[in-house]
């Protein structure tokens, strides 16, 4: 699918073809004169330049029993 980003509302708009009129579905702005991005544009591909192993967070599981003391005021 081809994509254009609206200048007025900054929302993406998608179409299966580049030809013909193109109207923003959110604000009805005419997007016909804007350049459409190709489906295989590298800017639209997901990035994998970070290591997911370093983003994992490890939590220490807490015991299920209540604490040995409690505070009463």
| Segment 17-56, tens digit of pLDDT | 888 899 999 999 999 999 888 767 776 665 555 555 555 5
The string of pLDDT tens digits covering residues 30-40 is: 999 998 887 67
3-state class percentages of the chain: helix first, strand second, coil last, to nearest 5: 10, 15, 75
How far from each other are the two terminal CA atoms of the chain, in whole angstroms?
65
The reported pTM is: 0.53
């Amino acid at each position: 699918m081809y994509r254009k980003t609206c200048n007025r509302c900054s929302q993406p708009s998608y179409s299966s073809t580049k030809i013909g009129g193109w109207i923003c579905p959110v604000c009805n702005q005419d997007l016909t004169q804007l350049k459409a991005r190709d489906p295989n544009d590298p800017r639209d591909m997901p990035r994998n330049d970070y290591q997911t192993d370093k983003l994992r967070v490890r939590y220490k599981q807490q015991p299920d029993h209540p604490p040995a003391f409690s505070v009463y005021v």
